[in-house]
Amino acid sequence: YCADNPGLFKNADTAYVLAYSVILLNTDAHNPMVWPKMTKSDFVRMNAVNDAEECASTELLEEIYDSIVKEEIKMKDDVAKSSRQKQEGEERGGLVGILNLALPKQKSSTDTKSESEAIVKQTQAIFRNQGVKRGVFYTSNRIELVRPMVEAVGWPLLAAFSVTMEEGENKPRVALCMEGFKAGIHITQVLGMDTMRYAFLTSLVRFTFLHAPKEMRSKNVEALRTLLALCDTEPDSLQDTWNAVLECVSRLEFIMSTPAISATVMLGSNQISKDAVVQSLKELAGKPAEQVFVNSVKLPSDSIVEFFNALCGVSAEELRQTPARVFSLQKLVEISYYNMARIRMVWARIWSVLANHFISAGSHHDEKIAMYAIDSLRQLSMKYLERAELTNFTFQNDILKPFVVLIRNSRSETIRSLIVDCIVQMIKSKVGSIKSGWRSVFMIFTAAADDEVESIVESAFENVEQVILEHFDQVVGDCFMDCVNCLIRFANNKTSHRISLKAIALLRICEDRLAE
């Protein structure tokens, strides 16, 4: 080209760039799938190079732009086809333009309601203008295009699934409804449509009918099966509904562990159907329900804190029942074991939730429940003490603080004695691991020194004496003053003069050891 047109371009590079620009412009201007269109200034800028003298003239570029936009460059065989495709292309281009409106703009991360409504209305207008002609189906990998569609059909779909579930027990229809619920929950989670996701999930929970076992049918078992499956496949979707989900698991365990309740399932139905439903519930109460707790280790940091919060709430509700239940309290201990390896920052957030719940459970009016809670707290504390604590960390102290609160507030001699026994057991088995935890240990023994029951005072003092005589080097650091205050309190105790004298003697030993 340069040889045939000498002097038109400074060098071949300019012609080379222009040739590609012409191809791009031709495709851009006449392909309805491309949007937005290249402007004249874009075309001129595309052909710009560093050296202004080597650029094609602006007048030439503008002339080429106008010519190509006006008339497409095409092979002769394509002319006949173009007339048939023109109208379809215009309609297609219009639809593509509408869909592009749904794409996120730089200044806004999500579509507003008004924008979504505008997109839907304009799309409907295009389809109405097409009449009865068969349109073109477009597949897109842009997630933003889905949101207006889900906003338009999501609520009617939820209503359709719900009505179908309420009105009959047709198994194929129930199966389709369950697929619909799963798909709805998944897509609303992906799109961040929290209100609709919550509605789908709570509707599914309601259809389990675990709150009314007499009315349960096979369709309700399928709803429960779907819910438990979601806990495994879509745990991130549950978020603010963990409380409702864990209530279902708790209720399922209650039904299956209480013969008088399980006997009422499907009341009034034939025995074969009833047995089938009870057997299905028994299966779901096994591994599927257990996996809800086992899979907690897969939850991200924020979600695991929500999970613990929800389970503490369900456990608190169980403890208020008559008789009180400890199913969820037991599960709290189990999932704490599963999640013990999480980083300390996350575990600290988890423990702030657990500590308050164990204090509440350990203060339960039923002494057996309180003892169970304290023993569970002991198990967790022992497990945590197996982890090495670095210098200047104080999380061991935080772990043991609930014992301090409980021994100070409990009016039960049995509970106070149990707390002292728990701490004694920890010292005997984990004395080499205790660091910042010594502070709480001495605070517990200080509270025991004020007890009116001599056996509690004696048990606590014997262990303080043993710690000072055998492990003084471990407590001489940050916890030395706590140790001294504890001995002073024993010296002033009102139940045993013998212990008072021994405490004074230990204070002198501490003074001598410190001087050394």
Q: Residues 188-209: what's their mean pLDDT? A: 94
User: Is the pLDDT confidence value at 430 over 70?
Assistant: yes
Q: CA 111 → CA 102, 107, 119, 149, 484, distances in Å? A: 7, 11, 10, 12, 65
Q: Residues 253-281: what's their mean pLDDT? A: 85
Q: What is the mean pLDDT of the chain?
A: 86
Which residue, 364, 378, 487, is CA-closest to 423?
378
Q: How many CB atoms lie within 10 A of CB 428?
A: 10
Model pLDDT, residue 101: 44
Model pLDDT, residue 78: 56
Q: How far apart are CA 358 and CA 301, in angstroms?
A: 22
Model pLDDT, residue 196: 95
Model pLDDT, residue 310: 96
Q: CA 175 → CA 37, 168, 218, 226, 329, distances in Å? A: 47, 12, 11, 10, 34
- pLDDT-based confidence at residue 77 (cuts at 50, 70, 90): low
User: Is the pLDDT confidence value at 26 over 80?
Assistant: yes
Q: Residues 204-214: what's their mean pLDDT? A: 92
Model pLDDT, residue 85: 52
Model pLDDT, residue 35: 66
| Range 12-130: architecture per CATH | Orthogonal Bundle (1.10)
First to last CA, the chain: 100
Q: How far apart are CA 224 and CA 227, in angstroms?
A: 5
User: Is the pLDDT confidence value at 49 over 90?
Assistant: no
User: Is the pLDDT confidence value at 72 over 50?
Assistant: yes
Model pLDDT, residue 54: 66
Strands (E), 18-121: none
CA 434 distance to own-chain centroid: 33
Q: How far apart are CA 65 and CA 289, in angstroms?
A: 67
Per-residue pLDDT of 81-137, as tens digits, reads 555 555 544 444 444 444 444 444 444 445 456 666 776 677 677 667 766 556 677
Q: Residues 370-381: what's their mean pLDDT? A: 95
81 or 424, greater pLDDT: 424
Radius of gyration, CA atoms only, the chain: 37
Per-residue pLDDT of 157-197, as tens digits, reads 999 999 999 988 899 999 999 999 999 999 999 988 999 99
Model pLDDT, residue 108: 45
Model pLDDT, residue 104: 43
Contacts of 89 (CB under 8 A, 6+ apart): 32
Secondary structure of residue 493 in the 3-state scheme: coil
Per-residue pLDDT of 447-486, as tens digits, reads 999 999 999 999 999 999 999 999 888 887 778 899 999 9
